[in-house]
Amino acid sequence: MRARVAEYAARYDRMKAEINAIPQVEAEYVELMRDYGVYKENYEKLLQRRESAKMSEDVSTTTQMVTFKVVDPPVVPQNPSAPNRILLSSLVFLGALLGGIGIGFLMHLLRPTFQSQGDLWEITGIPVLGTVSMIWTDQQR
């Protein structure tokens, strides 16, 4: 029993000493965490400064690397690079002329006109009641 009591007393004293050490450990922990925050903030600032310095160095080296060299000077060509203008203009004129004639012929087929009463009566088979005659001026006569 005495051995047990001595053992429990020793445990009690040890725990009492540990209880007194807890606030001291907590204070050390808080101080370490505060120092860690300060160190981390300084580290982040240094990283940002390093990155900005690296970027400005990269910009300066790339501007120094870009140089232009003129191998052959520009020359005005003697012949146009587009199609032959005379031939193109002639083909466009011919196309417009043929297109106009074609459209006129199609209009004649779709909406025919008649020169006299007899032509109209022969084609339609319907009697013609009247016509509009041409009035000639003195100059036209």
| Residue pair 130/117 in contact by the 8 Å Cβ criterion | no
| Domain spans of the chain, in order of start | 1-62, 88-124
- Per-residue model confidence (pLDDT) at position 63: 60
pTM comes to 0.34
Structure token digits, residue 87: 């031939």
Kindly give, in sequence order, each residue whose CB lies less than 8 Å from that of residue 131, ignoring residues fewer than 6 positions away: 117
- Per-residue model confidence (pLDDT) at position 96: 97
What does the alpha-carbon distance between residue 136 and residue 141 come to, in Å, rounded to a whole number?
6
End-to-end Cα spacing for the chain = 159
Q: CB 120: neighbour CB atoms within 10 A?
A: 17
Mean pLDDT by 10 residues, the chain (141 residues): 91 85 84 86 92 80 66 82 88 97 93 84 89 86 84
Structure token digits, residue 125: 């088979």
